Amino acid sequence: MAKIKVGISGCLGRMGQELTKQILNNKNFIFVGGFEHKSHPKIGKKISDVTDINSSSLITSNALSIFKKANVVIDFTTPQSTLSNVKLASATKTALVIGTTGISNAQKGKIKTLSKKTPILMSSNMSVGVNLLFDLVRQAASSLHADEYDIEIAETHHKHKVDAPSGTALSLGEYAAVGRKTKLDKTKVLDRTKNLKKRKSGDIGFSVTRGGEIAGEHTVSFISKDDRIDLYHKANNRSIFVSGALKAAVFISKKKSGFFDMSSLLKTK
């Protein structure tokens, strides 16, 4: 396999640094550089001068230059930055892997439209295990009917995470809703403090915890008057997300155009 040239958006972020380390240590990839937003104080410095990463590559704000060099760009940033990157990807015909969370349905629609010009793989969670959990939740929701089983989704992340519920939790809710042949927007309950009334049959409830440096924990509970079934995933560290993103980079580098998710990758195994 020819080496894949990879660029990193948000290279100084938590995921950006982990991805850069793994790419530099993987013989199947070539790191062509990383970029940050124009106001970042480290622009123009060597990566090795501001992190523990052994790379003399300069941190740039010129995203276009990285897109032109790369076969694939990996993006774990913010919805606004991701939309800018998608436009660059479509202009340069560079494959893009998106792990950004908090992307709205309207923004997702724009990304899908631009994927007609370049291949894009987007997932709220790059972990292979979580993507298997998505399917298990769909199956369970289909079998455990709303008139018997209530669905509650609980998630816990590190204190630095700003979106809540997490993108993964919302995706779990979407898979549960699909299993019950409904829409998450009609059934989700994010806050029970504003409307003081009992739970409705078919509601999909969410609860959020933020603290410490927890990489990510998600539980989907199916609760009846007689029993409770919990489907649970715990990320011990970010390595599973990095590994999944690199697998996604290999997968998407072989595509000409189109919108894909991690389930597309899993189907090729």
Active-site option among 108, 112, 158, 161: 161
56 token code pair: 């003399």
Q: Which residues touch 98 (CB under 8 Å, ≥6 apart)?
A: 75, 82, 85, 86, 111, 120, 121, 122, 123
Please list, in sequence order, all residues whose beta carbon lies within 8 angstroms of the beta carbon of residue 113, skipping any fewer than 6 positions away: none
Catalytic option among 157, 218, 233, 247:
157
Greatest CA span in the chain, whole angstroms? 61
Give the helix/strand (H/E) hosting 130: helix 128-143
Start-to-end CA distance of the chain, whole Å, equals 17
The single residue listed with the structure tokens 């760009």 is 73
Percent helix, strand, coil in the chain, to 5, is: 35, 25, 40
Rounded CA gap, 180 and 241, in Å?
A: 29
Looking only at the bridges linking them, the beta strands covering 95-98 and 119-122 are parallel
Nearest CA among 52, 54, 57 for reference residue 5: 57
Is there a catalytic annotation at residue 161?
A: yes
DSSP string, 139-189: HHHHHS-TTT-EEEEEEEE-TT--SSS-HHHHHHHHHHHHHTTS-HHHHEE
Which residues are part of the catalytic machinery? Answer: 157, 161
